[in-house]
A and B are shown apart, each in its own frame.
Chain A
């Protein structure tokens, strides 16, 4: 039987653009919503990250309140509010109700969020699982605006259900977000609590209070200084991909190629710009918008060939040794911590910087593997530890040199916390879930150097402690044998057992005998 053929005309009618929102509705795992447990963490994380970013940018010491209530089976009400600058009401609806909308994607400056999909993704997930709008209360210091908002999935546009304003006599500033969602609450392993604890480590300048289903938890501010304010930089030619270059060429306001290169990029002066034009055989006076595809490709290639100074690094905002140590100490209760901040380096034209802190002892178990806390731009990474370049660098570093035991291919053992902070204008995540950092050789090298440096600083303390512990163990061993020896000696000499014990205890307390390192075999010939 002959089937009726479908022609191209008919087929073309089936083509239609899908909105970003629609795409993510079907691919929620890309945003970190693949299971109910993770969904809950992701929503809290996105809202808190945004609050921290806003406060830091406005140079405000953050006070963040999180509340998470179970309102039904697998149904939760989440509310996050901050003391940040707020968002003007015209932009607010888009920030919450439009995916890939944000202040951060088009600029090169270190921040927690980078794509503008986190918060709107959370709104979308809430809407998908409960059908309810999200409630946003915000003020920049003037009137308080209260929105009930949903996302028009087909158009990727905010859909305002209601909007009203209230007077703001106390000049409150900030944003409060309330939403309902499906989820599952846990407190072990990767959890909201763990995320907040690690956030508190990397953001010791923030005060975070949390009210969860099982009670309140306060992560107190440990320092009253904010990290350095990062500056915004222009892209460096080495880090630009062809697609971005095309968009930049089309949207630039500059009138010729030389102007385009010097204005839109960092580290490109007039001489270098002309050199690039010459290399790519493009007339330096040509209008940027008029380049052919071949010319764009030549330009892109030439930009990679010229010799350039590395990008400026004032776009980075490291925590610094003090914040690292204070943060680690307050949340892990370690007795000793060291921190190392590496000088900035570059991967693919992107400046980045590695900070490492090692915490030792205190409440940490002595017979377990070390804990690894990974951070990218001050945000804790809770999942996919095995895929992360930081993990690989830890495994590759020989911690036995610093007084720890470590099997090959493994994280070291002992009462140790390893904190690694990757700070960059662009974090090369292995996937959209943003849980593991990709393995670039430059990044790997920097992490290892930082770990080695910190390891060396920690080593003398660890050795000292190991020695004390050995001494303690020796002492305990002798303590066990003392009553036995006394009993035998009493039988042998009739001297009172208690006296012998007292005298032996006295010798044991004298450090020089018990503390002495001995040879393992019976010592030398005296005969």
Chain B
């Protein structure tokens, strides 16, 4: 029963966000504070490192989730395309490494190497960034955009609408970034994200 109440609360919150989004189109979305996380190459990464960035594609993903595994190539392609347009892509792993052995930093390194990631793959060891974004599943995708010197969430949800068949998929992420690059508000600012649940330690 408790869970249902929670679900309804979440659904209500999402609904309110929609209403909010449509009423105040120009500055919609939660502001995200900058972070400093360790990349698989050993260096740390912050949003402020990217001086020319107009916005970011932020993907919460992980090593073991079968649905997330489908997206490595697509994320590489998105990164290649949009970092050239000053919208870099950053992937973050917020999974609890104490519970999931597969999500260790060592395994993240192997994953980044094996899948030839052309973007930073960051470990959110304290889970603070995941909580700040309210990322609930892997994979889940966000587009944040610079507005009044703040990073505002402009899109949240899934990467596209077909995990197994990329050729049939409609890319929500591409559409959102393209809208923003054209100076428009995002046509479809929110979709459902699903895959493996991210459990947050209390």
A and B together in one complex:
no
B residues near A (Cβ < 8 Å) are none
A residues near B (Cβ < 8 Å) are none
